Amino acid sequence: MNEIMVWGFRWVPPFAQGLVRDLRVRWALEEAGCPYEVRLIDADDRKSTAYLLRQPFGMVPAFEADGRGLFESGAIVYFIATDSTVLMPIDPRERANVLTWMFAALNTVEPPIQNLLDMDLLHDGETWAKLRRPAVVDAVNLRLEALSAWLAGRDYLIHRFTAADILMTTAPRFIRHTDLVAEFPVLDAYVKRCEARPAFQKVLRNQMAEYTRNAPVAA
Ligand SMILES: N[C@@H](CCC(=O)N[C@@H](CS)C(=O)NCC(=O)O)C(=O)O
């Protein structure tokens, strides 16, 4: 792959900094050793005709490699991984296992976590959110408990680091404002193990530096 571009937001409020999903794509590219350029957009750019052709829902990330576009962070990470033995084993059965865990991260683990994030950070204090929150916390705990049980005795989801770990460890970050993950020491250690990787540290640093550089100037 040559000429790789990743679209992210120029700036987001502090509660979202370090959570925006272009981080996943950038992490995968760093792990795979692929050079790329970042294209930063503003809230208004999301609804432009040109951007909607890249990402029909007006969200980030969007991605382009050699003139061909992709969207959805999971699909993009998968695409990058198919070309990288760092992110994806060669054995077809192991590849199927990685894909299984990628879907599990996106379809089974992330949804309740995203619910809790929305409730706490976007609807904090609203009556419906207060009433609904305990059931959502239960749903999150159910998933974290099962994931933690799977990880007992394992460093990664399969026997080595893969693209699935990128998707699985970026979801619990969404509830970093709670102590829910810390209540599962095995899971907590797994997330920290993956986040300690130099590639993750580098992309997080870069993304945060962009937000700092592009922060709105107070009136
Ligand atoms: N399923 C999509 C979700 C993308 C998504 O939620 N992006 C957020 C940033 S992390 C976004 O662009 N939010 C702005 C919006 O919802 O309009 C993916 O994984 O790429």
Question: Which ligand 1 atom sits nearest the alpha carbon of residue 74?
Answer: 19
Q: Which tens digit of pLDDT belongs to each residue from 14-60?
A: 999 999 999 999 999 999 999 999 999 998 999 999 999 999 999 99
Question: Which ligand 1 atom sits nearest the alpha carbon of residue 58?
Answer: 17
With contact defined as beta carbons under 8 Å apart, do 11 and 211 qualify? yes
Question: Which ligand 1 atom sits nearest the alpha carbon of residue 46?
Answer: 17
Give the residue, by CA position, lying nearest to ligand 1 atom 9: 20
Distance (Å) from CA 203 to ligand 1 centroid: 18
With contact defined as beta carbons under 8 Å apart, do 177 and 188 qualify? no
Q: Residue holding tokens 């040559």?
A: 2
pLDDT score of 147: 98
pLDDT score of 43: 87
Of 203, 197, 148, the C-alpha closest to 172 is 148
Q: Which tens digit of pLDDT belongs to each residue from 73-129?
A: 999 999 999 999 999 999 999 999 999 999 999 999 999 999 999 999 999 999 999
Q: Could you tell me if the CB of 72 is within 6 A of ligand 1?
A: yes
Task: Sort residue 73 into left (φ over 0), alpha (ψ -120 to 50) or beta.
Answer: alpha
With contact defined as beta carbons under 8 Å apart, do 215 and 11 qualify? yes
Question: Under CATH, what is the fold of the domain 92-197?
Answer: Glutathione S-transferase Yfyf (Class Pi); Chain A, domain 2 (1.20.1050)
Same fold, 4-86+199-213 and 92-197: no
Q: Which tens digit of pLDDT belongs to each residue from 137-148?
A: 999 999 999 999
Give the C-alpha separation, 175 to 181, whole Å: 8
With contact defined as beta carbons under 8 Å apart, do 80 and 29 qualify? yes
Cα radius of gyration (the chain): 18
Q: Name the residue type at position 65.
A: A
How would you class 95 by CB atoms within 10 Å of its CB: exposed for 0-12, middle for 13-18, buried for 19 or more? middle
Give the residue, by CA position, lying nearest to ligand 1 atom 1: 72
Indicate the pLDDT class of residue 219, thresholds 50, 70 and 90: low
For a ligand 1 pocket test, name from 45, 52, 59 the mutation site with the most ligand atoms within 8 angstroms of its C-beta: 59
Q: 4-86+199-213 — its CATH code?
A: 3.40.30.10
Q: Residue holding tokens 């976590």?
A: 113
Give the residue, by CA position, lying nearest to ligand 1 atom 13: 59
pLDDT > 70? residue 151: yes
Phi, psi of 40 (to 5 degrees): -100, 135
Q: Which tens digit of pLDDT belongs to each residue from 193-216?
A: 999 999 999 999 999 999 999 999
pLDDT score of 2: 80
Q: Could you tell me if the CB of 75 is within 6 A of ligand 1?
A: no
Distance of CA 155 to the CA centre of its chain: 19
Cα atoms in the 13 Å half-sphere on the side-chain side of 176: 13
Domain-wise residue ranges, the chain: 4-86+199-213, 92-197
Question: Which ligand 1 atom sits nearest the alpha carbon of residue 24?
Answer: 19
